Structure 1
Amino acid sequence: MNKHVIVIGAGVAGLASAIRLQHAGYQVEIYEKEAIPGGKMHKIEQDGFRFDLGPTIVMMPELYREVFELAGRNPDDYIPMERLDPMYSVFFGNGPDDRYDISSDLVELTKTLEDISEEDAEGFLTYLKEIYERFTVAKNHFIQRPFRNASDFYNPSVLRQALKLKTFDSADKFVGKYIKNERLKQMISFQTLYIGVSPYNGPSLYTMIPMIEFLYGVWFIKGGMYTMASAMERLFLELGGKIHYNSPAEDILIQNGRAEGIRTGGREVRADFVVCNADFPYAMKNLVLDTAAKGKYTDKKIDKMKYSCSCFLMYLGMDRKYDEVDNVHNFVFSKDLNANLESIFSGEQMDDPSFYVYIGSKLDPTMAPEGKDGLYILVPVSDRSASSYGWTQETIDHYRSRVFEKLKEIPEFGDIESHIISESYMTPPDFEKRFNAYNGACFGLRPNLAQSNHLRPQSKAKNCENLYFTGSSTHPGAGVPIVLLSAKIATEELMLDDLGTVPDAARESLHPVEAGSDVPST
């Protein structure tokens, strides 16, 4: 009889873990507190509009495709996607010279950079070379491997590679070595916010995020990001897995230092292994009740850890199309980005926030009623542990008004308020309540040096057998492509413990499918 695995949570990493294990021959069941799959890769449906709830930007598409290819499926049948060019627009103000369209075509990008400064265009190419070298080291020696024991990191071979990462500069200082123009620096460092950390104090290694955009592009999945969640659910069910919705895990059953299942709905469900995709800090506080199994992650330790920023999200159904806005992804910067980001991480309410506007219906008209567009607006804000203010209707109105004031100044958006016909929000407390995101931190534990690589929670539980963790608060970190890697690491760790090896069938497709010719691979 196949061994039984329970996966807690149908988030991205939970679904990917379940698919990998079901394909490898385990009998897998997912228990999910929500009514649909995806975790924060959820959807909002209102008044004929459909929005992605959380993630929206597709990077490193080969990692999205990999989970389907592993099971011998053609990803194009599940997640049809197209490459975007330009990738996005950046607005620094309301004039024609205050907007930049950013292409991943290096010819077009070079023209844009030369228009800003030939010297900085040269510096940009040096930055690309420098960060690409670090990226290959990180990819081959850190991002895709677990750190079970201290000796897995503290050995001469790994330490030699770690020194090559040169992580002690901030992202902003690293970029500033090669690029002097302040706007250009900001365009090449703000992407650290994709994983919830500021470019002004986040490790320089995270400037590999914009490098990945520039070299491999940004993509759009037809139907929006939720298509990925529903496609993984479909694949998992096709493979014979089971999903129990509206079934939150109440705690993990641990006996004699071993996970033996979960409690849900007041009943015990037994299993040979448990994979926990609930946010690690939440899980250690609320699901792992056995003191010995917690190890060093006591409630006190969890509260002292540093958390990523959170988000205030607005989902606006509009009575018009926004044909004047050229791109689906748009970033609107505050006049003083440094002060803006300092306020986020020091917990202050902002009067001049930077934000992001996503118009998925520009690329897929089925996401809005005919002749209309839906605007998804994301404002990075403080997580609840750092915030000096609470979330009331007054707070929502404050940020709402500041966003509209800035958009009204940009001709492409015009008088936005008068065109709203549908409106809803997500706040940090909502992320905490609905998705158990501890402190409302949308990206989990902050990826600072003290909480990265071997110092970040690992896939294999340190003090409990047959228990594994996955998701944004575990190694290797946050962001959809990276949590997909966390699922790969967690499942390989489980199989290593169970079988003493990782079968080839769990590493690559038994029936390889040719990837689309326009999809890059690294």
Structure 2
Amino acid sequence: MQQQPKKIVVIGSGFGGLSAAIRLAAKGHEVTIFEKSDQPGGRAYQYEINGFKFDGGPTVITAPHQYDELFELAGKKREDYLTLVSLDPFYRIFDGNGDHFDYWRSQQQTEEEIKKYSPDEVAGYRKFIKGVTDIFNWFHPFTEKSFPTLWSFLRIFPHVIKTGTWRSMYGFAAQFIKHDFLRKVASFHPLLIGGNPFDTPSIYGLIIQFEKQWGVHYCVGGTGAIIKALCKLFEECGGTIKLNAEVKQILIENKRAQGVEFKDGSVYEADEVVCNGDVAFAYKNYISKTLLPKPMNLWLSNLQYSNSLVVIYFGTKKKYKDCRLSHHNLILGNDYNKLMRDIFQRKILPRELGLYLHMPSQTDDSIAPEGCDCFYVLSLVPNLDGKINWNDLMDEYVDKVLGFLEENYLPELRDNIIAKHAVTPLHFQNNLNSYKGAAFSIKPSMMQSGYFRPQVKSNWFDNLYFVGAGVHPGAGVPAVLASGKIAAAAIEQ
């Protein structure tokens, strides 16, 4: 029997919100997205400054089939809405001496890179990749399913023991690889989802095989072009997007979500509420404290949260044609272990920098004015538990990062910058509503994964669903898109 159409509100227009909204609108439901900002995207907000386009957040695009699935639901083709370009190598990873390792999709090409550092490590790397493939085969199916009960999660633990995924990502790599820098190369992926490679369980190593299976891609026009395409698809499915519409609270009656109230006092009633806002922030700010069970507040306060970021977007009046950089670059210093301890455990500002540098103009001329280059660099820093005064420190820190890039990779950089914008953990807290300014929400760990992570369907309130980095299956665009799929399926059921 076909379900009666429902009136559904989606708070926020990031990847998770759009994923859920498109699926529900394609099924004939009346879906309205309310976005607090002046344009959609959430963390994928795109800044346009002096003719440059800067993607606010996600830049590593994988799994094109997830987008294909959304367009096919509406009888459309993804290729008619956006253009994806395959990148290879996936990443260029620099060590503390400025030497680099190109991380290719091809096993053979990656092994050639390994031989440059230590030919004896090739056999170990092959064993590592086999282990990662086993992890992917066992656990990838669970990334599009919820864990409603503890038993549903405990059933996978025999496989956790069998595959050794209780070990940290770095520890898992260290079983097979002895060379220090190559261990870092094999285990950096938790950094992409807000985790510390030295304590994030290697179950998250499935990301490595995920990339090898479907590739790493770039969307022409930037990640913002994906958001625009998904918004267009959503509206073609009959959905409505309201911008500059900031939610004040989720309306709850008899433990059921009934709609939302906005900052201006107006109310929108709905049969179901999907929240794409940070799950910890939402529970603590969108729901009346008198309605929240005390155990929930205690639980949320005791969870561990991811690191934060300082992100600097900059455009140059010249092109750096002969620089050593690739499209995606990771710069890992010599004192890597200390860097991770300072950020995740001590929560102090490290002396050394851990950087991801994105150079999309290497691939896409449309992202910058003619003869110019476009960049974004993010620096790993502690979340706001670190008590760092970013209002006072921001300018000095931004200059430190740009100075480092100028000295090592981009000569005369600061003299050539003609567009610049920077954000600190305060932006993640105050603009993106991220609890503690955590850029990836709840930190990935064994006891904060699966059943032990907030679920898409609220355990406390009926008709309330959460999507995004803070809920299962976790951070990263593919996982966030999957959370939208889980939410839509739960509402349909």
TM over 0.5: yes
Matching residue of 2:352: 352
Flag the 1:366–1:34 CA change in 2: closer, same or farther, 3 A. same
**Is 1:60–2:58 an aligned residue pair?**
no
Q: Which runs of 4+ in 1 moved over 6 A?
A: none
Structure 1 residue 94, shift from structure 2 partner = 5.4
Task: After superposing the two structures, state which structure 1 stretch, 311-320 or 325-334, moved more.
Answer: 325-334
- 1:188 counterpart SS class: helix
Question: Which stretch of the first structure deviates more once superposed, 117-126 or 472-481?
Answer: 117-126
CA contact (8 A) 1:134 1:164 kept: no
Q: CA deviation at 1:293?
A: 5.1
- Letter of the 1:362 partner, please give it: Q
Please state if 1:428 is matched with 2:425.
yes
User: Does the residue aligned with 1:485 lie in a helix, a strand or coil?
Assistant: helix
Contact 2:328–2:359 (8 Å) recurs in 1: yes
Q: CA deviation at 1:215?
A: 4.4
**Residue 472 (structure 2) aligned to one of 472, 475, 500:** 475
Give the match for residue 302 of structure 2: 304
What displacement does 1:114 show? 2.0
How many residues are matched?
487
* Aligned residue identity for 1:71: A
Give 2:412's match in structure 1, choosing from 397, 415, 433: 415
Counterpart selection for 1:82 from 85, 89, 92: 85
The question of whether the paired residues in 1 share the 8 Å contact of 2:92 and 2:103 is answered with yes
Given candidates 308, 311, 314, the residue that maps to 2:312 is 314
| Contact 2:165–2:172 (CA under 8 A) maintained in structure 1 | no
Q: How does 1:326-365 map to 2 (within 5 A)?
A: 326-345=325-344, 346-365=346-365
Q: TM-score, structure 1 length as denominator?
A: 0.90
- Distance, in Å, in 2 between the alignment partners of 1:400 and 1:464 is 43
- Partner in structure 1 of residue 172 of structure 2: 174
Q: Secondary structure at the match of 1:6?
A: strand
Q: Deviations over 1:426-485 (max 9, x none)?
A: 111111111111111111101111211000001111121111111110011000000000
Which amino acid is the alignment partner of residue 123 of structure 1? G
Who is 2:190 aligned against?
Answer: 192
Query: How far apart are residue 317 of structure 1 and its match?
Result: 1.5
Map 1:496-511 to 2 at 5 A: 496=493
The 2-side partners of 1:176 and 1:402 are apart by 33
Post-superposition offset of 1:263: 0.7
Q: Which residue of 1 aligns with 2:254?
A: 256
TM-superposed CA distance for 1:302, in Å, is 2.1
Equivalences for 1:53-202 in 2 at 5 Å?
Answer: 53-93=56-96, 98-140=99-141, 142-154=142-154, 157-202=155-200
Q: 2:388 maps to what in 1?
A: 389
Query: In 1, Cα distance between the equivalents of 2:460 and 2:93?
Result: 47
Amino acid at match of 1:50: K
- State the Cα RMSD in Å: 1.7
Residue 192 of structure 1 aligns to a residue in which SS? helix
Query: Aligned AA for 1:351?
Result: R
Mapped to 2, the partners of 1:63 and 1:117 lie a distance apart of 37
Matches within 5 A, 1:273-288: 273-288=272-287
In 2, Cα distance between equivalents of 1:104 and 1:396: 37
Please report how far the alpha carbon of residue 290 of structure 1 lies from its aligned counterpart in structure 2 after TM superposition. Answer: 5.8
Which position in structure 2 is the counterpart of 1:451?
448
**Equivalents in 2 of 1:216, 1:118: separation in Å?**
28
AA in 1 matched with 2:198: Y
Q: Which amino acid aligns with 2:144?
A: Q
SS in 2 for 1:463: coil
Corresponding position: 1:49 with 2:52: yes
Contact 1:189–1:210 at 8 Å: present in 2 too? Answer: no
- For residues 423 and 450 of structure 1, the distance between their equivalents in structure 2, rounded to whole angstroms, comes to 39
CA contact (8 A) 2:174 2:183 kept: yes
1:396, 1:438 → 2: CA distance? Answer: 20
Unaligned runs of 5+ in 2: none
Identity %: 34
TM (norm. structure 2) is 0.95
After superposition, the Cα gap between the structure-2 partners of 1:295 and 1:484, relative to the gap in structure 1 and judged at 3 Å, is: farther
The match for 2:20 is: 17
Compared CA separation, residues 34 and 173, structure 1 to 2 (3 A): same
Partner in structure 2 of residue 33 of structure 1: 36
Partner of 1:461: 458
Q: CA deviation at 1:292?
A: 4.3
CA offset digits 1:142-175 (Å, max 9, x no partner): 3221112233234xx4443444453321111110
Contact 1:445 1:472 in 2 (8 A): yes
Q: Deviations over 1:184-235 (max 9, x none)?
A: 1111111211010110111122233233334432111111111111111110
Distance 1:295 1:133 in 2: 41
Measured after TM superposition, the shift of residue 239 of structure 1 is 0.6
Name 1:514's counterpart in structure 2.
none
Residue in 2 aligned with 1:494? 491
Segment drifting more, 98-107 vs 37-46 = 98-107
Letter of the 1:190 partner, please give it.
F
Residue identity matched to 1:311: L
SS of the equivalent of 2:39 reads coil
Unaligned runs of 5+ in 1: 497-522
Give 3-state SS (helix, strand or coil) of 2:420's partner: strand
